[in-house]
Structure 1
Amino acid sequence: MPQRIPLKKPAALLAVVVLAALAAHVWSGGGKTGADKPAAIRAVPVKVAVAQRGDLELSLKVNGYAEAYSTVTVQSRVSGQLQAIAFTPGGRVRKGEVIARIDPSLLQAQLDQARGNLARDQAQLANAKQVLRRYTPMVAKGYVAKTDYDGYKANVGVYAASVKADQAAVEMAQTQLGYAQIAAPVDSIAGAPLVYPGAQVAANSTDLVVLNQVRPIHLTFAVPESALDGIKAAGARRSLAVSVQVPGATTAPLQATLDFINNAVDSGTGTIQLKANYPNTDDRLTPGQFVQVTLPTARLHDVVSVPVTALQNSPNGSFVFVVDADGKAQQRMVNAGVSNSGRVVIEKGLAGGERVVTDGQMLLTNGTKVQVVEG
């Protein structure tokens, strides 16, 4: 005979199932708990900048190089044997400082000879004048023939002319002897010697050394001819400042002054050469060194500008995100103009003083809540 199953076990099993279902319902959010409330919307962190209204200086950045203000190739003005060099190669020399000497022996001998000729002719002139004074009274009395007297008088003129020629020869010889000491024509940096003591040099032919004047120094660069009118207009209003940056340098840019605009445009490149003057008292620049030159070309008055990083592009045009008083980003379509030195002119669509997003735009849509972060 079959045994009866007690009814208590199925009832207990059913109770366990109901409790499990209820727990799952509560766990999944079906219960009346705090999970019923929607999660708070998080603000997107962004960086902002203020749109500025005012004058904006447009500038042009080009590559250039430092060039010696003047370069002098020194030659001897007299022939002779090079006796000594009196400069340190690569060192600084002062204007008027002796930098080389030519053996003066032959030049001194020529001066002595010229002085001897002068002394001889001066003595002959003195004698001729004495003879003329002696016979002048006798001519009137008929004791001396007129032709003889005229000869005495002519001798005075001949010796006087010889003395003048001798004096010129002495001055020439003295000048030539002075040329035996060669002086620097400008404050400059000396290059390597091109000849050495013992070498025979020819007057106005043999190169001795090259001197570069580097205080001040020129910065040479070329700009497109299209920028020429703006540069001339800016230069007419004031002395045109030029900013110079040495590649790789961590110091502040150097400040130079534009002082030369070439008189013709290069038809092959469509550019024109300009030069700026830098005092170089700190010897920062060396001839031949490459630099980056920035110079103003025009000035825009009362314009609105923002950092170029604020400007975004879409198929419908350019836009920026403006942060409103409620801390929300509003997409604003704008008309962008010229850009310069990291800023772009906004011709339409933005007013001065408004805050625009410069970093974090990729996470924004129109009306997104934002949180402004520094840095």
Structure 2
Amino acid sequence: MQRKSWKKPALIVAVLVAVAMVTSFCRSRETAPAHGNGAPAAVPIRVAAAHRGDLDLTLKVIGRAEAYSTVNVQARVSGQLQELLFKPGGHVKQGDTIIRIDPSLLQAQLDQALGNLAKDEAQLVNAQAVLKRYSLLIGKGYVSQSDYDTYKANEGLYLASVKADKAAVELARTELSYAQIQAPFDGIAGAPLVYPGAQVTANDTSIVVLNQIHPIHITFSIPETGLAGTQASMARGTVPVTATLPGTKLPPMQAELDFINNAVDITTSTIQLKARYDNHDDHLTPGQFVEVVLPTTRLTNVVTVPVVALQNSPLGSFVFVVNADDTVQQRMVSAGPSSNGQIVIEKGLSGDERVVTDGQLLLVDGARVRIVTGNG
């Protein structure tokens, strides 16, 4: 009797479980979505068209802003620094006077040269007058030939002295002009390296460093494998370069490639390139890091789809192609390189299909779909 006592409760439990399973199945059938004649509802998806055409492959690297040109300003004459006419860290205009050297000594040297010139010019006039008088007398025999030759030589000596004096005046005047130093280009001045009152030596003492940043260079390096494609792009015309400042909300800056170095760095197998950016907005300062996007190779007549359309399985890559009857076909494809959100499909698509870009997780081969547009 004790051995049979457990059978009855077990039978009751089994019956209750069976009833629960039947009830759950019925409810799931009642609440299951239906489409048409009891068919599953269409899966909402988003689609994009496959495209046949050209695709520019791009390379993303890190670059650095670099002054278009840098000048270490030095005086061309020795003297005492009199005045700095620029604001450290401020903009300077081409041709503006930014530095003054004390001109007193230079002005005195110019005055001395002018005095020597005036003296020799007066002596030259006198020598020419004497020579003219003796030219009339020598024909009458009143003056010896040797005396005449002496006066003629004196005229030549004074004439040479006047020419030398004029050169000395020009030199003194030029050196005096060097007492005022002008900015060679529009740029930004650094901190002064010497201050008023200091003695500066010609072509030796550095006074300030000027950086030209309008335009500015963006310097970066690419692998040597991308050199041939970049050179081909440059041969076709302007090569656009996009630069972005990381960590900012500034829009991408559009620059133009204008320099390819003449040698590959054998230690890194890279080659240096430079892009020119107008920088009128002063977004870039020399030394800043930037993210650079450079087109390297143009693929012609290739089929591309959005990268998000490509799916992977143990059998390989595939996309879902939308048929005319609003069903999908799982199409195996061979994928190639990608760029700017587009990927090349080397095999499997002809370029006139519609592919699913959102909703693939709910799809199987042959599933019915509903295309969603906009935010719906």
TM-score tier by shorter-chain length is 0.7 to 0.9
Q: Where does residue 344 of structure 1 map in the other structure?
A: 343
In the TM superposition, residue 365 of structure 1 has moved relative to its aligned partner by: 3.0
Are 2:229 and 1:233 aligned? no
Amino acid at match of 2:165: D
Moved over 6 A (4+): 24-27, 33-38
Match of 2:212 in 1: 213
Q: 1:25 to 1:216 in 2, by over 3 A?
A: closer
Match of 1:12 in 2: none
Aligned twin of 2:5? none
Provide the residue aligned with 1:193 in structure 2. 192
With structure 1 as the length reference, what TM-score do the two structures score?
Answer: 0.86
C-alpha distance in structure 2 between counterparts of 1:37 and 1:157, whole Å: 126
Q: For residues 192 and 25 of structure 1, do their structure 2 counterparts lie closer, same or farther at Cα, with a shift above 3 Å needed?
A: closer
Partner of 2:7: none
Pick closer, same or farther for the CA change 1:49–1:140 going to 2, 3 Å: same
Structure 1 pair 156–333 and aligned structure 2 pair: CA distance change class (3 A): same
Indicate yes or no: 2:151 matched with 1:152. Answer: yes
Q: Which consecutive unaligned segments of at least 5 residues does structure 1 have?
A: 1-20
The alpha carbon displacement at 1:219 in A equals 1.1
Matches of 2:269 and 2:148, distance apart in 1? 81
* Range with bigger deviation, 349-358 or 202-211: 349-358
2:3 corresponds in structure 1 to: none
Computing the radius of gyration over CA atoms, which structure comes out larger, 1 or 2? 1
The residue number in structure 1 matching 2:76 is: 77
Q: How does 1:322-361 map to 2 (within 5 A)?
A: 322-361=321-360
Superposed CA deviations along residues 150-174 of structure 1, whole A, max 9, x for unmatched, are 1111111111111111111111110
Q: Distance in 2 between matches of 1:159 and 1:26?
A: 132
Identical-pair percentage: 63
| TM-score calculated relative to the size of structure 2 | 0.86
Residue 164 (structure 1) aligned with residue 173 (structure 2): no
User: Partner of 1:87 in structure 2?
Assistant: 86
Give the deviation of 1:142 after TM superposition: 2.6
Q: Which runs of structure 2 are paired with 1:1-375 in the superposition (5 Å)?
A: 39-40=32-33, 41-374=40-373, 375=375
Distance 2:113 2:19 in 1: 130
Distance 1:299 1:26, change over 3 A: closer
Question: Which stretch shows the higher mean deviation, 239-248 or 48-57?
Answer: 48-57
Counterpart secondary structure, 1:141? coil
Q: Distance in 1 between matches of 2:200 and 2:85?
A: 16
TM-superposed CA distance for 1:371, in Å, is 4.4
Write the letter of the residue equivalent to 2:356: V
Greater mean deviation of Cα atoms: 173-182 or 118-127: 118-127
Letter in 2 for 1:77: R
Q: 1:94 to 1:26 in 2, by over 3 A?
A: closer
Cα distance in structure 2, aligned partners of 1:122 and 1:284: 60
Once residues 107 and 133 of structure 1 are traced to their aligned partners in structure 2, the CA distance between those partners, rounded to angstroms, is 39
The one-character-per-residue Cα deviations of 1:57-112 (angstroms, maximum 9, x if unpaired) are 22222111111111111110000000000011111111110001000000011011
Aligned CA-pair RMSD: 2.6
Deviation at 1:43, TM superposition (A): 4.6
Q: 1:268 deviation in Å?
A: 1.3
Structure 2 residue runs without a partner (length 5+): 1-14, 34-39
Matching residue's letter, 1:241: P
Q: How many residues align?
A: 351
Q: Give the direction of change, closer, same or farther, for the CA distance of 1:306–1:36 in structure 2 (3 Å limit).
A: closer
Distance across 2 between alignment mates of 1:334 and 1:90: 58
